[in-house]
A and B are shown apart, each in its own frame.
Chain A
Amino acid sequence: MPEPIIELRGVTKTFGGLTAVNDVTFTVNRGEVFGVAGPNGSGKSTLFNCITGIPFGPSGGEIRFDGVRIDGIPPHKIFRAGLSRTFQKDAEFPDLSARETVALGGHYGAGLGGKVLEQASEEALDLVGFELSRRDMATADLSVYGKKQLMIASALVSKPAILMLDEPASGLTRPEIAALDELLMRVNRSGVTILIIEHVLGLLLSVSQRLLVLNQGSVLTEGAPQEVIRDERVIEAYLGSAAA
């Protein structure tokens, strides 16, 4: 019996006269990998922002995490509650080392300290396959893939229930995308639910158990990935009416 972990009901986000996310409703179940696809400007990242409250929450609708409403609560508390996210662009704290970056998430996200924090940080870095020799490097000096690994490790150190990934494959080479695919599977097997937005359809189809497609801020369709990509409305949204 699927157990809902994230539930969105009629979530809407408007900027003046523009509706970026329009009446979006879906449920993510515990333990699954749920993908969100859609063409550029379809509202995927805005939807992520609404769920996490960073940098803004929704204009309307209801978001529940583990049955508790989270729309309207401060974003740092959403992370502490167990809902962790990454960013599309290479987010970093250039002044801090990889270890320090991960430890920050453990300290402020889960209230860890001392040896427990050190151990949790090392475990998170191990889980994402972050090389030992680079752990004291300044994050500004890491490769694009290294920064992605680090962002995921800093999200995982507080042992979240759900990890939300905003286009994790952007800027990566094919071998790195393959490594990311393995990494996400590993994270999911460790018990973390994953909600992923991705432009690289190959990765999205490979990791997702269910897929939702957004177009112009609204839900176009939702279902098993292989069925969804054959939907004519999805083909039209991505490639135009001639292709459909």
Chain B
Amino acid sequence: MTRNRSLFALAALFILALVPAIVTDSYTRHIFIIAFIYGTVAVNWDLSLGLAGLFNFGHLAFFGIGVYTAAILTTSLDLSPWLAIPLGGVTAALAALLIALPVARLQGIYVVLVTFAFGQLCMQVVLSQGDLTGGAEGLVRLPYLRLGDYSFIRDFRFGYYYIALGLLTVSVASLMLLARSPFGKSLRALRDNPDYATARGISVARQRVLVLCASAVFTGIAGGFYAIYLRVASPEVFGFSVATLILSMVLIGGAGSILGPVFAALGLTFATEAMAGIRGLEEARFLVVAVAMILVLRIAPAGAIDIFARLFTPRPKS
């Protein structure tokens, strides 16, 4: 099963790598880039929420921290965007360490409350520190990526497409390796039976701190890239609509499956974009996503990837 999933992921990567050769218009490439960024955030949220069973509802704060790290470093300190993007991952991981310390020993609803409050706190900091963050207006005209004389804003999003795809690929590959490691297995053990896992020498607090930091790294880098790509840092990244959309990617795709949220990110980004062009559905599209999430969870609690897995798994002969 694991081998099938890896082969499926490689086939999907091969097809996605060929897309720019077929799809030449910037708009469609832009939707792919956004889907890859959301996919990176979703799959890393899946690490803490799905694989570790930690009800972390502050994951988008790591994304927002990545966004503002890249924006502030490039505008206030004139740092190269190439450096500012990975530094988004560093600051997000440090923020994760900060929130992980109180969360490490909490249970259930208290984890939800603390992580949710952390996200709101981050938004309030951004709004209140207008001199640095631009306040409610955010920061605009961020520097774009250049490579020598090559400008990434004059190639019909060709370069950005491959950077976003590369980020998603590295992130997914890292998580697949992590899920198969003793650390990944310890997370699943803690999720399914914390007492038994503790009785086998696994520290709940230590694994929680590590998983939150690990899930923040690529999320923060994705945030940094998002800011540089759109050339904007806006407090909306801490808002409910982005968080709900990405959470729906995790749950519709299949929490704990790693690949499920990636495909859900692709499907939902294109679906919501398509619905935005349909009269009457512009505002109601997130309602449609919410209904889809309820339906999928009702039919297959393990997510859409489980439905596909069942469809393509040969039934044993009776």
Contacts of B186 in A (CB 8 A): 104, 107-108
Mask: chain A, 45-68; 1 = CB below 8 Å from B; 0 = not: 000000010110000000000000
B8 contacts A by Cβ under 8 Å: no
Mask: chain B, 63-81; 1 = CB below 8 Å from A; 0 = not: 0000000000000000000
Interface residue from B192, B195, B204 paired with A95 (Cβ < 8 Å): B192
Taking a contact as CB atoms under 8 Å apart, the answer to whether B195 and A107 are in contact is no
B201 contacts A by Cβ under 8 Å: yes
B182 contacts A by Cβ under 8 Å: yes
Interface size on B, residues (CB 8 A): 17
Q: Given A104-B186, A104-B189, are A54 and B201 neighbors across the interface (CB < 8 Å)? A: no
Contacts of A43 in B (CB 8 A): none
Mask: chain B, 196-211; 1 = CB below 8 Å from A; 0 = not: 1111111110000000
Minimum distance in angstroms from A47 CB to a CB of chain B:
15
Determine, out of A26-34, A71-79, A126-134, A214-222, the stretch whose residues face the partner at the interface: A71-79
Cα-based distance from A155 to B200 in the complex (angstroms): 7
A171 contacts B by Cβ under 8 Å: no
Interface residue from B182, B193, B204 paired with A91 (Cβ < 8 Å): B193
Interface of B, secondary structure class, is helix
Taking a contact as CB atoms under 8 Å apart, the answer to whether B199 and A85 are in contact is yes
Taking a contact as CB atoms under 8 Å apart, the answer to whether A96 and B203 are in contact is no
Q: Given A104-B182, A107-B182, A108-B182, are A93 and B188 neighbors across the interface (CB < 8 Å)? A: yes
Taking a contact as CB atoms under 8 Å apart, the answer to whether A80 and B199 are in contact is no
A7 contacts B by Cβ under 8 Å: no
Contacts of A103 in B (CB 8 A): 182, 185
Taking a contact as CB atoms under 8 Å apart, the answer to whether B200 and A109 are in contact is yes
Q: Give the interface centre of B197, B198, B200 by most chain A CB atoms within 10 Å.
A: B200
Taking a contact as CB atoms under 8 Å apart, the answer to whether B185 and A104 are in contact is yes
Interface residue from B182, B185, B193, B199 paired with A92 (Cβ < 8 Å): B193
Cα-based distance from A198 to B196 in the complex (angstroms): 19
Closest to B202 in A: A108
Interface residue from A55, A95, A113, A154 paired with B200 (Cβ < 8 Å): A154
Q: Give the interface centre of B188, B189, B196, B203 by most chain A CB atoms within 10 Å.
A: B196
Taking a contact as CB atoms under 8 Å apart, the answer to whether B195 and A55 are in contact is yes
Interface residues of A (CB under 8 A from B): 52, 54-55, 74-76, 79-80, 84-85, 87, 91-96, 100-101, 103-105, 107-110, 113, 151, 154-155, 158
Smallest CB-CB A-B distances: 3 pairs? A108-B201, A109-B201, A91-B196
Interface residues of B (CB under 8 A from A): 182, 185-186, 188-189, 192-193, 195-204
